[in-house]
Structure 1
Amino acid sequence: MNTIAVFCGSGDGALPTYKKGAEALGKELAKRGIALVYGGSCIGLMGAVADGVLEAGGKVIGVLPRFLQDKEIAHPHLTELITVDSMHERKHRMEQLADGFIILPGGTGTLEEFFEVFTWGQLGLHQKPIGILNIDHYYDLLISFFTHMNEQQFLQDKFVSMALVDADPAHLIQKFYTYSPPEVKTFMKKSQS
C-alpha cells in the first residue's frame, strides 16, 4: 500500500470533529509511509487531510482541474500537483495513482466519487480496497442504505463487504492490508442465434 486516494468535502462541515478526523487520517497515512492522492485543494476537509500528511512529513499528490486552479484554491505546499482538464479526468487520474480509496465526510461530489470507484470495483475494473471513515457517525445513514439495497436484492452480499468501515483512521487502514476483493464474473454478450 503505497498510495491512498481520499475523497472528501471542500468545506469543514458542521462539527469540528470532521476536520480533526481528516487531519488524523493525514497523520496516520504519513506515519505508515503512504502517500496521499487527493483533489489538490487547500480548503475544507481536503486541505485538512493534506495538511495532516504534510505536517507529519508525508507525501501529497494533488490532482486539480485547471478551472479550479484558476480560482486559486490549489494547495501551495504539495509534493506534486497534477493539473487536468476536467472533473472526469481528475477521478480517472486519481484512480490510476491510488492503491486504495477512503471517503471522509462530504457532499454530493464526495458521494459521486465514492460510488464511481465502488461501481468500478463491482465491475472488476479494479481490486482496490474502499474505506469509509465514519467520523462522528456521519455515514451511518449511507451504511444503513447499503443494508437496505442488499435486503432489496439490488446489492449482492459479496459487494456489501467491499465497503470497509471504521471510525478510527488506523483501524480503517489496517483493514486495507487484509482486504480480499470479491470474485467478479466477466460480463459477456448473449450469443445471437
Structure 2
Amino acid sequence: MIKIGLTGGIGSGKSTVSFILKEAGFEIVDADIIAKEVLVKYPEILEKVKVEFGAGFFDWRGEFRRKEFGNHIFRFPKQRKKYEEIILPYIKNEINDKLEELEKKKTSIVILDAPTLIENDLHKEMDYVILVWVDNNTQIQRVRSRDSLMREDAINRINSQMPLDIKKDFANIVIENNDTLAKTKEQVDLLIEFLRSI
C-alpha cells in the first residue's frame, strides 16, 4: 500500500485539495476528524484536560468549550505543547489502526490528510509528501475570514505551525494555492494522474 501524506498550514486550502482527491475516489484518513473523534471515544482525554487546564474550559453542562480552549492554547505555545502531549498518542494510534485496516483491505493508495504531518514526524512513514502552499498574507486573510478571528489570533494560529516555506523542504510535491480554485484544480488533476500511474 502506498502511503501519501497531504499537509499544509491552517488556511492553506489543504481541505479543498483533500476533498477533490476524495471525490476522485482516493481513500482519505483525516487527522482532524480523528482528533475530534478521540475526544468522544476516550473520555479520559478531557478528564486530563480538566486537571491540567482547569474546569473553566467546560460549560455548566460539562461540555468542552473548544473554541475558547483553542484560542487559549494557540496564544500560549507551552500550553499547546502540554495539550498535544495528552492527545497526540491517541491520534497516532487511531491513524495507525486505520492504515492497518486499509492495508488488510488491499487498498493500493491511502492519503493521510494531516496539518501537522511533519511536526509530528508522520512524514517519515509516508512514501510521498504533498504540501499545499500559500503565501503568508493570503493565509492570514483566509484564516480570519474562515474562523471569524482577530488578526492577532489568526497570526497566533499560523505561527503555532511550522512555516510553510520550511515544510517545502520535506515535500515531494507542492501545490500552490494562492490563485483561483480553477488553478488549484488544474494542479490537483495532474497530481491525480501521477497517483494513478504509480
Report which structure shows greater RCO (CA 8 Å, sep ≥6).
2
TM norm structure 1: 0.36
Higher helix share: 2
**Length-normalised TM-score, structure 2:** 0.35
